[in-house]
Chains A and B, each alone.
Chain A
Amino acid sequence: MKQYQERYLDNLTEITELMTLSEQLPENTELFLRLRQERMVRIEELIKENTELLRKKLLPLIDDIISAPEDEINDLEEFAGRLLSGNKQVDLCLDYIVRNALLTYARKWEKRDMLIRELYHTGMALFYMQDSLLEADLSLYRWKVSMMFGEAASYIKMYDEIEDAETRGYIHRSMANLALSYSWAPEENAVKKMDVIRYSLKILNDPAYHAKTPSLPWDVFVYKSHQERMSGTSYLRYAKGNARPELVREILESSQYVWERLKEDSRRTGKRISFPWELRYETIQYHCGIRTLTYLLSWIETRYMERDVSSYTMEGIESNIYLPASYARYLSEDDNMKYKKREILGYMYRMMVRYVRDMPGNQLDAKLVRNLMLAMNTFIEYPGGVTFKDFLKDLVVCRNPDIYVTLVMTANISQMLVKRALEQKPETLFGVLSCKDTAQLREKEEELLSFAYEGGMFYDIGLLSVSGLMRRPGRSWLEEEQRMYETHVYAGRNILARCESTKIYENIAFGHHRNYDEKGGFPKEYSRADKPEQPVTDIISVAAFLVHSMEPAVLVEDRNLSLDQAVEQAEKKAGTVLSPAFVGLLPDLKEELREYLKDARIRAYEEAFRLLQGQK
């Protein structure tokens, strides 16, 4: 690799270390913030350096990729390999840009082996980019994933002309990975996925190919394909008893194949089969009609009762969080069961809350966060039980303290704006909470303030789905990142729409980035019409704008301005980006804001740390 590439990667490593909270949460928050500020200064330096390295060295090379010398190309491939290695995402979007450039080079100079390789790697980068959009439920990259793997796989027709074993391996891997492109929107694509896997297995099991390339790990390829076919449960769930018999047979075959292998590994190593694989096996038995739902739920309950509540290993986290999340998923398939088992699931949720709160250390463990997100995806809200709202507020949102702090500050400033609007311009709030006049607004003042506060807490919840982007990725953003970032409003809307307790905030999450004049911002399909909560969305947009303008550069939107400068910027945007009615309240509110901001960030971090330490 070139020196600048090594330097870039080293800088990224340093930035990650600087941004990571220590295992023990700080006792002195003021000191923490001071140290954080110093770290931010260093991070800014590194970001600037990285951006310059790319701008001066990498991007010009990519611009002229076709005339790049071979050694540059080799270094570039190595560099890209470090940016995304396996599923370790060091700099995903940059990897995609570099791989795309290498693809262009390979096509131009008709370097077939390189083309196949780069198609595979570009497909993988796109796969991870698409995967980050799961909550948003958008398909920005799905067809591109399919295109990349499909083209690489199509070189199976020229197998005999290709001598290099590794390249042949990429063909097989691409063929198998084609199934990945049908992983999302499973209902539509389930059958296609099965077709692709079947075709891939046919080739992978063909002794003729084994003989041609004996050095390839055929056994691993076959095993992984069977594993992928086990995810056909989504098809079975979609088909609801009307699944095609041949597909059911295939899924059963694959689950048995994998299960036997897992049992063998377990016997050999003495380790228990991991819970997710156990669960997958059992759910396939259920979906294929061998077991009933009652049996499956009982099985999950039995495993749940076997859990170790004090274990925070992978297994511990899975049995305390992933297990209830799966239980909820299967309950939601049957209304009758959902009702019958409400006490059990309610109990599981209460235990989950306790488990998370009791976790030692800073509770920012990546495994924990991933499993909490899974639990969030399948959450069922019962009257009198843990509400989704509380689940999000107390357990989920605090997992990213930087985001949490901006949310709390936005929520508080939104409340201030609502109070001021009630005093000075109540007519601007007509329609919210069905209030038609000032008298009704005053009657519901507490409710209104609470609505504004919680709206402020949840409006950016979609950022959790792209939180990897929200922390500065170690350089200035590229256009692709902006595109992915904009999907967070869809994710926020989808998360909040799930349950009654949060449904009222979904439009706030969806529309807070849409310009007031509807001529800019995102998403384009958001319309202000027929949204009685629009005034609160406008208020939250103003509050969020202020908060991010004043934040030191931790998150991408932050600008590190003073309060006066932030208000001035807001006034420039009144009427276009921001609502003039509520921006107009800011000058009067300045002193109150100044007072609040004296220690607002400190208090917000303290609140986040308390939650992370399991305190309410």
Chain B
Amino acid sequence: MDWSMKQMDEIWGKVGAPVFLFAKRQPCGQIYANQSAVLLLEKYGSCPEDRRSLTDLLQDPEAEALRRGLAGEGGDSAPLFCHLGREIYSAVLTDWGEYCVCILQDVSRYYQDTQKALEDAQLASRAKTNFLSAISHDIRTPMNAIVGMTGIALMQGEMPPRIKDCLDKIQIASGHMMSLLNDVLDMSRIESGRMLLEKSDVDMADLLHKILIVVKPQAEAKKLNFTVELGKMDEERLFIDDVRICQICNNLLSNAIKFTSAGGNVNLFLEVERGSGDGEERPDRELTLRIQVKDNGIGMSPDFLPRIFQPFERERSMTVSKIQGTGLGMAITQSLVRMMEGNISVESEVGKGSCFSIELPVRAAKTDLDRYYEVLKGRWILLLNDDPLLSRTLTDMLKTLGMQVDLASNAMEVVYAINRAAFSDKEYFAFLTAAKVADLEMVEFLPQIRSRMGSKFPILMLSEEDWSETEYFLTKAGVDAFIPLPLFLSRLSAGLYAFTDEGKLEGGKKDTLSKMDFSAYRILLVEDNELNREIAQEILSVTGVSVETAENGEKAVGCFEKSELFHYDIVFMDIQMPVMNGLDATRRIRSLNRPDASSVPIIAMTANAFLEDVHDSLEAGMNAHLSKPLDMEQVYDCLKQFLGRRNS
């Protein structure tokens, strides 16, 4: 309906507030202003020349800032402000038939008060953060001392159980406090814009390793089923801030572990895929790093989910309240993800668990794969693995490196392959084996491979991250290097490359037998044969250990009896000796009334023995057997086994 000016005036003329009417149809624009509105326009003679639409006025940047401050990112629901000179008007827009009515209300006072309140709040928040940050620094210094000294105290060896218990608890509590302080510090740095990303070339394998050494022990301590899954790895070397990404993963994983009961599952998924995800092609966004942390823990309620990334927010529930935490972890995580221009999302259901998903745009870094390919291509590798899936992955990776693969799933197939190669021109460059194969004792099988293929032939083993428990035995059995799982092409290729001539020139073959310093130790060598004694002394002296000798069991007992407590760290004892044999000497030593008599390791120097002899020597109190004549590797291994733990 078309209204006349007179009609409009009758309706709006008496309204106290300034009212403008705009036509919706073309030509759009203001067609009516009531008296108050006219006065307003006259007062502020700087009315725009072309009398543009009010919406133009409402796009004044200052108003936008105020809208953001008051209404957040409320979008269409945010109030509109119109700045006219020093006055601020709130504009209400509403439809009126063919027209749009705009009523202005003077909110100058309100606006200024609100703005001041916002500034005060921000100031207070920064002040709080800075204060906490300052306090954190002051607290951290003595905390470092507490943590450090507690650690040193715990390393001191035997102590009363009660004291050890107290020290353990101090260590746990102080560790927790340190992590709280670190969180607060990080948050303050992020809020104040002082946190900067420090990107560098990082291998995904190393990144994962850093995450796992922190997280795996936590999961194991809680008896959780922790798994790592790798998706596509279009690139394994990325230009990223690995410290912050580790922090993100550790935050998510620690939470998952915290909020999942014993026996539950926590899974970490990593993937690097070509493409930025948003369809844009940019050099710094050529890849997408996907991280997903999933658990089947207590989950989160729908009410809490929207607040999860707020600082200091924790779900109010009996379960959660019993679990320690600041409530900053998620806020920090989200802030870091945003800094990296990524996004984070969460799905969760109470009682079923949660799943956090992160996507980060990253770019690839230069790798050495081309160099490795040039050196490794065409070489034959013999692979032993009875896991079909892993075998396929391995074979594909090795072929990517240009290598030729013979795959075996059991010992017979390995030997068959070796025999066949012996009758042809094929020469294996290396043997790569799983750590466990059904019905096969690796510590028995590998020495045979070693004997057959020679001391220079590389034997590599795929193994879980924590192979340290079995490294001693496997290295003794013949393993030259370990390739950790989950499998990365970079690790595999670097591991193989290290055994090429080029690789050896570059870095030297990795000496997996770490030579430790035994100069602080003393051995009693009991051997009646002079030549054997000399050989043994020479070998032992290379390790740095001090050697004292005795010609028979009786003299050995005498030496031990006369010595100070813990004078000897280990005894190497021949069995067959005149005057007193090794078994009797061992029994005598073990029966001595002194604390080191029962604890000193006594090693029999013989390998071939009847069952009853082995039984007799164990009954007599011996700890292990060595075969004669001694060789360097054997001696190192033995010293490492019995003295190494103390040394480290």
B610 and A478 contact, CB distance less than 8 A = yes
Interface residues of A (CB under 8 A from B): 51, 54-56, 59-60, 62-64, 66-67, 97, 101, 107, 139, 142-144, 146-147, 150-151, 153-154, 156-157, 178, 181, 188-189, 192, 196, 199, 475-479, 481-482
Interfacial chain A residues near B606, Cβ < 8 Å? 59-60, 63
What 6 A-B pairs come out closest when comparing CB atoms?
Answer: A154-B422, A150-B419, A143-B411, A146-B415, A476-B610, A59-B608
A153 and B423 contact, CB distance less than 8 A = yes
**Beyond A59-B609, A64-B629, A475-B610, 5 additional pairs, beta carbon < 8 A:** A64-B532, A150-B422, A188-B412, A192-B416, A478-B611
Give the one of A64, A143, A154 with max B CB within 10 A: A143
Interfacial chain A residues near B612, Cβ < 8 Å? 476-477
Instruction: State how many angstroms separate the Cβ of B182 from the closest Cβ of chain A.
Output: 45
B412 and A154 contact, CB distance less than 8 A = no
Write 27 A-B pairs (CB below 8 A) sorted by A numbering.
A59-B609, A59-B610, A60-B576, A64-B532, A67-B531, A139-B439, A143-B410, A143-B414, A143-B415, A143-B448, A144-B448, A146-B419, A147-B415, A147-B452, A150-B418, A150-B422, A151-B452, A153-B419, A154-B422, A181-B412, A188-B412, A196-B419, A476-B611, A477-B610, A477-B611, A478-B610, A479-B609
A156 and B423 contact, CB distance less than 8 A = yes
Q: Which residue of B lies closest to A185 (CB)?
A: B412
B422 and A157 contact, CB distance less than 8 A = yes
Interfacial chain B residues near A477, Cβ < 8 Å? 610-612
Interfacial chain B residues near A101, Cβ < 8 Å? 608
Distance in angstroms between the alpha carbons of A157 and B423 in the assembled complex: 7
Interfacial chain A residues near B110, Cβ < 8 Å? none
Interfacial chain A residues near B532, Cβ < 8 Å? 64
A63 and B607 contact, CB distance less than 8 A = yes
Give the one of A51, A60, A66 with max B CB within 10 A: A60
A199 and B423 contact, CB distance less than 8 A = yes
B603-623 interface with A by 8 A CB criterion: 606-614
Interface residues of B (CB under 8 A from A): 410-412, 414-416, 418-419, 422-423, 439, 445, 448, 451-452, 531-532, 576, 606-614, 627-629
CB contact under 8 A between A55 and B610, given known A63-B627, A64-B628: yes
Q: Which residue of A lies closest to B420 (CB)?
A: A195
Distance in angstroms between the alpha carbons of A54 and B613 in the assembled complex: 12
Distance in angstroms between the alpha carbons of A147 and B423 in the assembled complex: 13
Distance in angstroms between the alpha carbons of A146 and B415 in the assembled complex: 6
B415 and A62 contact, CB distance less than 8 A = no
Instruction: State how many angstroms separate the Cβ of B247 from the closest Cβ of chain A.
Output: 44
Instruction: State how many angstroms separate the Cβ of B150 from the closest Cβ of chain A.
Output: 37
Instruction: State how many angstroms separate the Cβ of B186 from the closest Cβ of chain A.
Output: 49
Instruction: State how many angstroms separate the Cβ of B559 from the closest Cβ of chain A.
Output: 24
Distance in angstroms between the alpha carbons of A446 and B608 in the assembled complex: 51
Distance in angstroms between the alpha carbons of A64 and B574 in the assembled complex: 12
Q: Which residue of A lies closest to B576 (CB)?
A: A60
Distance in angstroms between the alpha carbons of A195 and B609 in the assembled complex: 40
Distance in angstroms between the alpha carbons of A259 and B613 in the assembled complex: 53
Interfacial chain A residues near B439, Cβ < 8 Å? 139
- Cross-interface CB contact of B445 among A51, A143, A479, A481, cutoff 8 Å: A143
A154 and B423 contact, CB distance less than 8 A = yes
Distance in angstroms between the alpha carbons of A156 and B609 in the assembled complex: 36
Q: Which residue of B lies closest to A157 (CB)?
A: B422
Interfacial chain B residues near A63, Cβ < 8 Å? 606-608, 627-628
Distance in angstroms between the alpha carbons of A481 and B610 in the assembled complex: 10
B611 and A482 contact, CB distance less than 8 A = yes
Distance in angstroms between the alpha carbons of A586 and B606 in the assembled complex: 43
A97 and B422 contact, CB distance less than 8 A = no
Instruction: State how many angstroms separate the Cβ of B628 from the closest Cβ of chain A.
Output: 5
Interfacial chain A residues near B415, Cβ < 8 Å? 143, 146-147, 150, 181
Distance in angstroms between the alpha carbons of A526 and B613 in the assembled complex: 29
Give the one of B410, B415, B607, B613 with max A CB within 10 A: B415
Distance in angstroms between the alpha carbons of A147 and B608 in the assembled complex: 22
Distance in angstroms between the alpha carbons of A477 and B576 in the assembled complex: 20
B576 and A56 contact, CB distance less than 8 A = yes
Distance in angstroms between the alpha carbons of A59 and B605 in the assembled complex: 12
Instruction: State how many angstroms separate the Cβ of A199 from the closest Cβ of chain B.
Output: 6
Q: Which residue of B lies closest to A200 (CB)?
A: B423
Q: Which residue of B lies closest to A61 (CB)?
A: B608
Instruction: State how many angstroms separate the Cβ of B27 from the closest Cβ of chain A.
Output: 89
A479 and B614 contact, CB distance less than 8 A = yes
Interfacial chain B residues near A181, Cβ < 8 Å? 412, 415
Q: Which residue of A lies closest to B612 (CB)?
A: A476
Distance in angstroms between the alpha carbons of A63 and B607 in the assembled complex: 6
Interfacial chain A residues near B629, Cβ < 8 Å? 64, 66-67
